[in-house]
Amino acid sequence: MRVERVPFRLISAATAAVILAACGQKPSAPPPQTPEVGVITVQPTTVPVVSELPGRTSAFLVAQVRARVDGIVLRREFTEGAEVKAGQRLYKIDPAPYIAALNTAKATLAKAQANVVTQNAQAARYKILVAANAVSKQDYDNAVATQGQAVADVASGKAAVDTAQINLGYTDVVSPITGRTGLSQVTPGAYVQASAATLLTTIQQLDPVYVDLTQSSVDGLKLRRDIQEGRLQTGGVNAAKVTLILEDGRTYSEAGKLQFSDVSVDQGTGSVTVRAIFPNKDRVLLPGMFVRARIDEGVNDKALVVPQVGVTHDQKGQPTALVVGPDNKVALRQLVTSGTYGDKWVVDSGLNAGDRVIVQGTEKARPGSTVKPVDAQLPAEAAQPASGAAPGAAPGAAPAADAGASGAAASSNPAPTSAAAASAASGA
């Protein structure tokens, strides 16, 4: 029996073909699942508009007490830094020269009054005599003129007496207002002069107290434009409320009211002055203190707010958000923010009412990819902002944690599907 031998070369080729066929029958990878993200639907909401302005306090009334007559200060009759009443005597200036001047004026007045009696009688006699041609008409005219001069001397004497009494009264230096005294600039024995208007002390009324704030003309223009366009509503006749932040960061216990806004812009600084008034019963506020005031300028009832977790910032510091479109595809939006309200950003532009913003699972979403949106489950404090509005932060200013989260999200994004398939094939 003849046995035909199969060449080894053919066996090796057949074996290789079987092995390759087995490898080609490996099952393909399952298609990637659509990532699920949490979204919130942006809707207009009412947000109070609050601006924070720097300023300084100033006294409600300020009176500089100065000398109005010359003389030696005999005594000081108040305690420095104490409260004084209007009309209370503060200093006593030596009155002796002014008493003498008053007595001289009174004597001159008495002399003038006595001369009037004589001149009246002489004019009456000359009137009868001139009618009988006993005296010349010239003599009668002279008598009448002398009578008029005597009357004028009496009026001048009365004025001199009044002046002397006023100067004597000025030796009692009294407080023109009710308030707190400052340092005494003179001591007993000092010589003061009316011509030099010697400063004696300063009195300031500290309850209430003014706060002069500085606002840029740009902010003022924006505020007026928002009111005209109906985006802001003012309180009508009621004055806007003002909250004061002291130098140590504490909030002043009393609320103030706006008094007025200056009608002109400072050409050097481009700002306007806004004045507020605060009660100051406990004298906490002193003139010259640096403070910050939060002013309730109105209410924006068409504001769009987004939780801070849904806003990131790009490398340029511009705020951005991921929005899910009607086709469930992700789009990147550039935002313009005007500040914060509670734990949310107030968005001026970049979003529209009804937009769905991704606030959970942002690391799963990429611009252009398809996602499965579901209602986000936010913490209670994120879903319900605080009743008071924090002062607006500068647009585009990102917290450090936010910037770090943005970078972490970028580094944790999964690679595209095509790259993953190529890597799997390479491993196989």
- Would you tell me how many other CB atoms lie within 10 Å of the CB of residue 106? 16
**For the chain, what is the mean pLDDT?**
80
Q: Which residue has the tokens 């009618």?
A: 131
Look at 5-14, 62-71, 75-84, 313-322 and tell me which has the smallest mean pLDDT. 5-14
Give the model's pLDDT for residue 231.
55
Inform me whether the pLDDT recorded for 275 exceeds 80.
Answer: yes
Inform me whether the pLDDT recorded for 157 exceeds 70.
Answer: yes
Give the model's pLDDT for residue 53.
87
pTM for the whole thing?
Answer: 0.60
Candidate ranges 214-218, 265-269, 302-306; pick with highest mean pLDDT: 302-306
Exposed e or buried b per residue across 38-49, where buried means at least 16 C-beta atoms within 10 angstroms of its C-beta: bbbebeeeebeb
DSSP state for residue 370 in the 8-state scheme: B
**385 preceded by a cis bond (ω within 30 of 0):** no
Q: Give the domain 36-47+301-413 fold.
A: 2.40.420
The amino acid at 13: A
What are the E-state strand segments in 290-394? 290-307, 312-313, 319-324, 330-334, 336-341, 344-349, 356-360, 372-375
Of residues 151 and 24, more confidence is placed in 151
Average pLDDT over residues 181-185: 93
Look at 228-232, 245-249, 340-344 and tell me which has the smallest mean pLDDT. 228-232
Distance spanning both ends of the chain, measured CA to CA: 48
Give the model's pLDDT for residue 422.
35
Please tell me the distance from the alpha carbon of residue 123 to that of residue 149, in angstroms, as a whole number. Answer: 12
Average pLDDT over residues 239-262: 82
Look at 101-105, 133-137, 193-197, 255-259 and tell me which has the smallest mean pLDDT. 255-259
Inform me whether the pLDDT recorded for 184 exceeds 90.
Answer: yes
Give the model's pLDDT for residue 190.
95
User: According to CATH, where is 2.40.30.170 located in the chain?
Assistant: 51-59+206-300
Give the model's pLDDT for residue 69.
94
Average pLDDT over residues 199-209: 93
How many angstroms separate the Cα of 393 from the Cα of each of 37, 90, 171, 184, 270? 28, 51, 58, 46, 21
What are the E-state strand segments in 117-183? 172-174, 179-181
Q: Quick check: helix, strand or coil at residue 375? A: strand
Please tell me the distance from the alpha carbon of residue 354 to that of residue 44, in angstroms, as a whole number. Answer: 9
Average pLDDT over residues 341-369: 88
Average pLDDT over residues 2-15: 50
Please tell me the distance from the alpha carbon of residue 4 to that of residue 23, in angstroms, as a whole number. Answer: 32
Give the model's pLDDT for residue 220.
72
Give the model's pLDDT for residue 221.
76
Please tell me the distance from the alpha carbon of residue 289 to that of residue 59, in angstroms, as a whole number. Answer: 11
Inform me whether the pLDDT recorded for 14 exceeds 80.
Answer: no
Average pLDDT over residues 340-350: 87
CATH architecture of 69-93+172-197: Beta Barrel (2.40)
Residue 427: pLDDT band with limits 50, 70, 90: very low
* Residue 250 in tokens: 């504490």
User: According to CATH, where is 1.10.287.470 located in the chain?
Assistant: 95-170
Give the model's pLDDT for residue 169.
94
When the candidates are 3.30.1330.10, 2.10.109.10, 3.30.9.10, 2.40.30.170, the CATH number that belongs to 51-59+206-300 is 2.40.30.170
CATH architecture of 95-170: Orthogonal Bundle (1.10)
123 in Cβ contact with 143 (< 8 Å)? yes
381-413 tens-digit pLDDT: 544 443 334 444 433 334 433 433 333 333 333
Q: Which residues, 6 or more positions from 81, have their beta carbon under 8 angstroms from its beta carbon?
A: 180, 181, 182
Please tell me the distance from the alpha carbon of residue 245 to that of residue 251, in angstroms, as a whole number. Answer: 5
- Number of H helices and E strands in the chain, helices first, is 7, 21
Residue 191: pLDDT band with limits 50, 70, 90: very high
Q: Which helix (H) or strand (E) holds 326?
A: none
Give the model's pLDDT for residue 25.
52
The amino acid at 199: L
Of residues 16 and 138, more confidence is placed in 138
Of residues 253 and 299, more confidence is placed in 253
Average pLDDT over residues 368-389: 67
Give the model's pLDDT for residue 36.
87
69 in Cβ contact with 197 (< 8 Å)? no
Closest CA to 241 of 51, 47, 45: 51
C-alpha of 212 from chain center: 8
User: According to CATH, where is 2.40.420.20 located in the chain?
Assistant: 36-47+301-413
Give the model's pLDDT for residue 271.
85
Inform me whether the pLDDT recorded for 423 exceeds 70.
Answer: no
Inform me whether the pLDDT recorded for 291 exceeds 70.
Answer: yes
Average pLDDT over residues 274-281: 88
> Between helices 96-131 and 137-169, what is the axis angle to 10°?
160
* Residue 197 in tokens: 């208007």
Please tell me the distance from the alpha carbon of residue 175 to that of residue 213, in angstroms, as a whole number. Answer: 30
Question: Positive or negative, the Cα torsion across 128, 133, 135, 140?
Answer: positive
Average pLDDT over residues 254-280: 81
- Would you tell me how many other CB atoms lie within 10 Å of the CB of residue 148? 12
Q: Which helix (H) or strand (E) holds 6?
A: none
Q: Which residues, 6 or more positions from 82, have their beta carbon under 8 angstroms from its beta carbon?
A: 180, 181
333 in Cβ contact with 321 (< 8 Å)? yes
- What string of DSSP letters covers 280-306? -TT----TT-EEEEEEEEEEEEEEEEE
60 in Cβ contact with 207 (< 8 Å)? yes
Of residues 138 and 29, more confidence is placed in 138
Give the model's pLDDT for residue 59.
93
Q: Which helix (H) or strand (E) holds 147?
A: helix 137-169
